[in-house]
Amino acid sequence: MLLPRTSLSLIWTLSRIWMVSSTALTFVISPGEKSCFYADVDGQGEKVGFYFAVQSGGSFEIDYAIMNPDDVVLLQGTNERQGDYIFTANKIGEYTFCFENEASISDKLIDLDIMVESEPRRTLSAQQLPFKDHTSALEESTHKLGGLLNSIARTQKQ
């Protein structure tokens, strides 16, 4: 069975979307507790997405820190209600995402999503056209829709 060209483009684009590993969960952190989560980065230059939102407990605030494989702090915040960050992993290895609930006397319910891009990057030579010229309108629309759906899902969690 032959598929129309637009169907093949859509299937190719959707297959590229699946090359992002993601961990989404909801957890409870007790007063005085520190909870850490880990994500492996297999290649230098990969994009790492990190989202969290305090859903209940106290004044809906939490402290967090993100460390690279050498335990160097990349991002940190205190008394934050939510955060949505993307950064480029400059080192291969295990990245650490920690939350601390030391300043509160109540449990906190937190939504967490960590995404690591595992998609190979295209490098352009001087003779190649920019990536945008290689993608069809359908592929671009599918990519935009994927981003919008992620935004909607995160907004609904809040």
Is the pLDDT at 122 greater than 90? The verdict is no
Predicted local confidence at residue 112, as pLDDT: 92
pLDDT score at 3? 41
What is the pLDDT at residue 141? 65
Read off the pLDDT band of 126 (50, 70, 90): low
pLDDT tens, position by position, 45-55: 899 999 999 99
Q: What is the pLDDT of residue 58?
A: 83
For residue range 57-105, what is the model confidence (pLDDT) as tens digits?
888 899 999 999 999 999 999 999 999 999 999 999 999 999 999 878 8
CATH of domain 18-119: 2.60.120.680
Mean pLDDT of 7-33: 62
Domain layout of the chain by residue ranges: 18-119
- The answer to pTM > 0.85 is no
- Angstrom distance (rounded) from CA 87 to CA 157: 22
Question: Distances in Å between the alpha carbon of 12 and those of 5, 17, 87, 119?
Answer: 11, 9, 26, 13
- Mean pLDDT, the chain, rounded, equals 77
* Predicted pLDDT of residue 147: 66
What is the helix, strand, coil percentage profile of the chain, to 5?
25, 40, 35
